[in-house]
Amino acid sequence: MGKVRVRTDTGKLLLDFSFQGTRFREHTALHDSALNRKKVQTLLDKVEARIKLGEFKYADFFPGSKNIQKFLEVDPNQADENRTQNVRVQRTSVATKIAAKAPLFETFARQWQTEKKIEWRASHARNIESVLSNSLIKFFGKRLLSDITKAEILEFRSKLASKPGRGGKEQISAKTINTHMALLKAILEEASDRYSFENPYKNIKPLKLQRTHVEPFSLIDVNRIIETVRADYRNYYTVRFYSGMRTGEIDGLRWEFVDFKRGIICIRETLARGKTEYTKTDGSQREIPMLGPVKEALEAQHQATGKLSPFVFCNTEGKPLDHNNITKRVWYPLLRHLGLKIRRPYQTRHTAATLLLASGENPEWVARFLGHASTEMLFKVYSRYIPNLTRQDGSAFEQMLGVQEERVDI
């Protein structure tokens, strides 16, 4: 029974098998890895299958091996035939290697993108296109896949880390770098498997991510914002603050998914670049109970736009809101007017989470409310806002709102 072994001096794989009562070892250029072991084992299985059938010809499998000469000496009557076959196999082997030569990175990356696109959601496909076109192809595009080295991969990561981040940040985030590197790794893994070259992406660990810091608003600040904002956007921000919906979810919300009788909002779509599509994840598909302020705001909004547009929040033409435009024209000027720290609108979602948790709602209920698959995210991001919890129906939150309103009235 043959075995796949590892050379102790080089760490490369070899085939160890017996043929015609003699033990043979054939070395490969592949380093020890699970993927390479699988490849070599497949070759060994084919060799042993041919041996059992009595059809094994050494030159067919190892055309460049010195061991071929042993068979020429053992069977001189077949020498001429074997020599001819050996030359033919060697020529075929060379031709096969040329045909199977790994293509340029850009060529394969685009092919891989086309093949995988059917598996992706539209938003993910856009992200992949952006990383490929603006990052990976610019650096590796004209390189043969089989020529890319680990040193080049690390150089790419270093250069990526030196680029400025979004929002005026000095450096691109570790999360973004890991996203680029993960895509590169996936492409190289697939290419090395198809074209049988050593994958250079080895022992490169993702960067450690800093803990996410949220900047939620206090309930007093939330009340100030809602009381001060333009009247035509008051319902919009009320729903944002007290439903915890993501920007794309609230901007893409249609009236058909607002059930006043049952008192729930059905999250089924998200708005991205002016078009509705499937939500961020399967877990994002959920039913959100209308808490008191949300129900009142939606009922008022239905009076204003219920007949104008299928979208709950829309412009005068009935089209969904452009969140970039609203952020610049309404949100940031409002925060500056109130003397509040400038924060992205997404902090309204963090605010909903912290208010719900601080009021005593059960983390599992809050996780479902926000569209998280588990409570892991809650404890990781919002741990300091979580007291001893027992309730799981939204009543604690509404009770807190009632207490706060009483304090404001006084």
Going residue by residue through the chain, which has 410 residues, state the pLDDT in tens, using 9 for 90 and above: 789 999 888 888 889 988 888 888 888 888 888 888 888 898 898 888 888 888 888 888 887 788 877 765 444 444 455 445 544 444 444 434 433 578 999 999 999 999 998 888 888 898 999 999 999 999 999 999 999 999 999 999 999 998 887 665 667 889 999 999 999 999 999 999 888 889 999 999 999 887 777 899 999 999 999 999 999 999 999 999 999 999 999 999 999 999 999 999 999 988 887 787 787 778 788 999 999 999 999 999 999 999 999 999 999 899 999 999 999 999 999 999 999 999 999 999 999 999 998 888 888 999 999 998 888 888 888 877 776 544 555 666 667 676 555 544 43
Fold topology of 105-195: DNA polymerase; domain 1 (1.10.150)
Closest CA to 121 of 278, 251, 284, 249: 278
What is the C-alpha separation between 69 and 55, in angstroms, rounded?
Answer: 18
Q: Measured at the alpha carbon of residue 387, what is the angle toward residues 408 and 404, in degrees to the nearest 5?
A: 5
**Tokens of residue 310, six digits:** 């299928």
**pTM over the 0.75 mark:** no
What local confidence, expressed as pLDDT, does residue 258 receive? Answer: 95
What is the C-alpha separation between 327 and 227, in angstroms, rounded?
Answer: 18
295: enclosing H helix or E strand: helix 292-305
CB–CB of 323/349 below 8 Å? no
3-state secondary structure of 218: coil
Q: What are phi and psi of 243, to 5 degrees?
A: -110, -25
User: In the Cβ-directed half-sphere of 167, how many Cα atoms lie within 13 Å?
Assistant: 4
What local confidence, expressed as pLDDT, does residue 374 receive? Answer: 82
**Tokens of residue 334, six digits:** 């409002």
Q: Does domain 219-409 have CATH number 1.10.443.10?
A: yes
The beta strands (E) that lie in 58-209 are given as: none
What local confidence, expressed as pLDDT, does residue 403 receive? Answer: 55
Residue ranges of the domains in the chain? 3-99, 105-195, 219-409
Q: Do β-strands 12-19 and 3-6 pair in parallel, antiparallel, or remain unpaired?
A: antiparallel
What local confidence, expressed as pLDDT, does residue 396 receive? Answer: 66
Q: How far is CA 350 from CA 178, 242, 245, in A?
A: 24, 10, 10
